Structure 1
Amino acid sequence: MNTLFEKIKQAIKDDFYEVAEKQKQSNPISLLNQYLRESEAEVKKASKLIERQKLLKDEFYKEWKQAETMADRRRHQGEIALEAGAEDLSEIALREQAQYEERAERLKQGYENSMNQLEELEHKYREMKLKLKDMHMKRLELMGQENIVIMKNKMNRVLKESEFGIPAENLENIEKLFDREEKKANDEYDISLFDARIQQLAKEINKQETGELRNNS
């Protein structure tokens, strides 16, 4: 029994969330808020990518300059070895000089590529931030439109209803009912007044007849 109850409760909960989600999806401001959150998350990712790219660029630059320094050192060492007649050392120095120069060239190219990539990322990042600002402005515009729609709906309800919250057509029926009751009360009053006057006339006639009888006797 408990298991069945839990299943029913979960099914009701799922239906509720499904309806709530559909209502949320049909609301343009809710959709825009969701898109804003997703865009803000992407902007944060882009910011982190830029920081990583800057580190990569700095690393390329450092390695490039170190390779250039080592190439110059091996060149200078090769010259010293050649002057000293140590041709074997001179050959080693010249070979390593070439290796460092080749490495320096690759690192220089990597540095330049990382610079171009960084500029592209920063350009895209600025575009994303501007787009995000535009979306925030659009959200404010939609909120303003939503306020107008809500106010118009409330005003329409006020115009259609009386100050007591009664629909206009029902209010007309109530007014007609009061009119009928008022007419009925007036008719009853007129009838009561008529009866009272007739009763008064009857009393006067009775007095006259009584007086005549006394005079004759």
Structure 2
Amino acid sequence: MNTLFEKIKQAIKDDFYDVAERQKQANPISLLNQYLRESEAEVKKAAKLIERQKLLRDEFYKEWQHVDKMAEKRKEQGEIALKAGAEDLSEIALREQAEYEERAERLKLAYNNSVNQLEELEYKYREMKLKLKDMHMKRLELMGQENVVLMKNKMNRVLKETEFGIPAENMESVGKLFEREEKKANDEYEISIFDARIQQLAKEMNKQDTGELRDNS
């Protein structure tokens, strides 16, 4: 029994939260708040991507400079070996120089690409932040509109209702009801006064009749 009761209670609670969530989602400001939270999360992700891209750019540049220096070093070593008559060492130096130069060219291209990609990311990031600011401004505008709508609705209710909470259009029928009740009370009062006066007259006439009987006797 307890288990069944708990299930019923939980089902009612779930239904309540489901209705509350649907009402919340139907609210434009709630929807905008949700979109703002999601957009803020995306902006944070973009900021992290930019930091990673900067690290990648710096790593490409560092490796490119290192390989470029190694190519220059092998070039100088090859020239020294050639002058010294060590052709085998000169050939090794020239071969490695060519390899380093090729790697340096690839790294230079990768570095330039990373710079361009970083510029594009930073441009998109600035756009995202501006869009986010616009959304915050839109949220404030919607909140202001919501306040105006709520206030107007409250004012309309006040204008349409009396202090008793009766709609103004029903006031006429309520007034007529009061008039009928007042007339009924007045009629009942007049009837009571009429009955009292008749009773008084009857008593006075009875006294007169009794007095006359005594005088005759």
TM over 0.5: yes
Question: Where do 1:111-130 residues align within 5 Å?
Answer: 111-130=111-130
Residue matched to 1:155: 155
TM-score, with length taken from structure 2: 0.85
Aligned residues: percent identity? 84
Say how many residue pairs are matched: 216
Q: Partners in 2 of 1:91 and 1:13 — Cα distance?
A: 83
Partners of 2:192 and 2:140 lie apart in 1 by: 69
Q: 1:135 aligns to what?
A: 135
Q: CA deviation at 1:171?
A: 4.1
Cα RMSD over matched residues?
2.9
List alignment gaps of at least 5 residues for structure 1.
210-217
Once residues 193 and 16 of structure 2 are traced to their aligned partners in structure 1, the CA distance between those partners, rounded to angstroms, is 67
Look up the match of 1:213: none
Paired position in structure 2 for 1:212: none
Q: Which residue of 1 aligns with 2:102?
A: 102
Q: Could you report, residue by residue, the CA deviation over 1:28-79 in whole angstroms, capped at 9, with x for unpaired residues?
A: 1111111111111001000000000000000000000001111111111111
Change over 3 Å in CA distance of 1:168–1:57 after alignment to 2: same
- Find out whether 1:67 has 2:67 as its counterpart: yes
Report the Cα offset of residue 190 of structure 1. Answer: 4.5
**Bigger Cα displacement from structure 2, 160-169 vs 149-158:** 160-169
**Corresponding residue for 2:212?**
none
1:27 maps to which residue?
A: 27
Distance in 1 separating the partners of 2:149 and 2:190 = 54
Q: Distance in 2 between matches of 1:103 and 1:6?
A: 71
Instruction: Tell me how far apart the structure 2 counterparts of residues 196 and 5 of structure 1 sit (CA, whole Å).
Output: 67
C-alpha change, 1:202 and 1:8, in structure 2 (3 Å) is closer
CA drift of 1:160 comes to: 1.6
- Deviation for aligned residue 1:135: 1.0
Structure 2 unaligned segments of length 5 or more: list them.
210-217
Q: How does 1:6-21 map to 2 (within 5 A)?
A: 6-21=6-21
Between the aligned partners of 1:14 and 1:203, the Cα distance in structure 2 is 79
1:165 Cα offset (Å): 2.3
Aligned to 1:164, the other structure's residue is in SS state: coil
Counterpart Cα distance in 2 of 1:72 and 1:87: 18
Residue 110 of structure 1: how far off its partner (Å):
0.2
In the alignment, the residues of structure 2 paired with residue 84 and residue 48 of structure 1 have an alpha-carbon distance, to the nearest angstrom, of 54
Cα separation, 2, equivalents of 1:2 and 1:184: 59
Whether 1:144 and 2:144 are equivalent positions in the alignment is yes
Between the aligned partners of 2:197 and 2:9, the Cα distance in structure 1 is 76
Distance in 2, Cα, partners of 1:69 & 1:206: 145
